[in-house]
């Protein structure tokens, strides 16, 4: 299967500050890929590298086989970007901006835009500058769907969108990508939205790349164990090969691990943790993401 995006040993610094080192991932044609991470971990940075706006410190990204630093106009025309919900030309109306954009895109699909705009409770003559943040995001999403790109890159598409519209847009996205050979790169802080949408993920942390996996494998292999602790007993844990993350409350502990329950129990015993009633608790993708990256 064709690799639409291939990033190889990508390393980036801003000044002396390392953002990540050796980020590697591949996005296959027709798949939906999610880049996840807390605020400021390097998601937008990666997108800026993908479209050649930013030169990485080292490493390469290839888009449809071309180095992202030297993309041909033909390849650029196959890519559609949404940058954190931003839309320029706020002085235009819904109708004017559609006409303006259509001139740049040979495959422009006006219906895809107006189909979404009909669901927006605003007059076609209303200027974008007078719309709410969520309404402007909806216009931006309509404009990107109308471009009909082969590779769609959505940076935080959900800015300001209400729950219903988010669901609607995700339905559109699935329909757009699945079975049509379209490829999607998405970042979002609403992790629950990505469950059931995204197949492969990379999770970034402040120290670099934390995980590269399929969502299926991550959810199958990453586990949460809860246990009781005796009152007044101080437990001090550290992250290690077995404990990927942990939380200790007064009489309750949580350990997140890629290991089996037997291994975790054995490990806790070795650390003299007086745990009782240990059990594995099912997690959503969002639970697993927070378990892996921590709450703060």
- Can you give the binding site for ligand ATP, defined by CB under 6 A? 14, 19, 37, 39-45, 156
Q: Closest approach of Cβ 191 to ligand ATP, in Å?
A: 12
CB 81 within 8 A of CB 52: no
Choose between 95 and 208: whose C-beta lies nearer to ligand ATP: 208
- Residue 113 near residue 25 (C-beta atoms within 8 A): no
Q: Which two three-digit tokens encode residue 110?
A: 């006006």
Q: Please state the closest distance from residue 50 (CB atom) to ligand ATP, in A.
A: 12
Q: Which residues sit opposite 212 in a β-bridge?
A: 202
For residues 192 and 233, give the distance between their C-alpha atoms in angstroms, rounded to a whole number. 35
Nearest to 220 by CA among 276, 139, 288, 165: 288
Query: In the complex, what is the shortest distance from the CB of residue 23 to ligand ATP, in angstroms, rounded to a whole number?
Result: 12
- Residue number, 187 or 224, with CB nearest to ligand ATP: 187
Q: Which is nearer to ligand ATP, 141 or 146 (CB)?
A: 141
* 184 or 243: CB nearest ligand ATP: 184
228 within 8 A of 250, measured Cβ to Cβ = no
Quick one: which of 80, 91, 65 has its CA closest to 113?
A: 80
Residue 72: CB minimum distance to ligand ATP, A: 26
């Amino acid at each position: 299967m064709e690799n639409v995006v291939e990033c190889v040993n990508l390393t980036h610094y801003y000044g002396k500050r390392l953002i990540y080192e050796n980020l590697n991932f591949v996005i296959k044609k027709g798949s939906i890929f999610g880049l996840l991470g807390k605020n400021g971990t390097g998601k937008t940075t990666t997108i800026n590298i993908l479209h050649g706006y930013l030169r990485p410190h080292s490493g390469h990204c290839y888009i449809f086989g071309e180095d992202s630093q030297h993309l041909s106009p033909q390849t650029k025309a196959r890519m559609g970007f949404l940058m954190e919900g931003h839309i320029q030309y706020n002085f235009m109306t819904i109708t004017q901006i559609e006409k303006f954009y259509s001139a740049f895109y040979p495959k422009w699909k006006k219906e895809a835009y107006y189909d979404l705009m009909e669901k927006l409770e605003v007059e076609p003559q209303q200027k974008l500058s007078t719309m709410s943040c969520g309404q402007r995001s909806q216009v931006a999403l309509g404009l990107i769907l109308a471009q009909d790109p082969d590779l769609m890159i959505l940076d935080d598409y959900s800015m300001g969108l209400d729950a219903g519209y988010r669901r609607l847009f995700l339905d559109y996205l699935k329909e757009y990508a699945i079975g049509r050979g379209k490829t999607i790169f998405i970042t979002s802080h609403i992790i629950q939205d990505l469950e059931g949408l995204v197949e492969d993920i990379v999770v970034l942390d402040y120290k670099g790349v934390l995980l590269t996996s399929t969502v299926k494998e991550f959810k199958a292999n990453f586990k949460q164990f809860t246990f009781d602790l005796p009152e007044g007993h101080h437990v001090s844990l550290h992250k290690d090969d077995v404990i990927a993350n942990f939380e200790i409350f007064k009489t309750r502990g949580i350990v997140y691990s890629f290991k089996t329950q037997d291994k975790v129990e054995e490990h806790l015993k070795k650390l003299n943790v007086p745990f009782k009633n240990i059990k594995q608790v099912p997690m959503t993708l969002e639970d697993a993401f927070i378990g892996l990256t921590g709450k703060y």
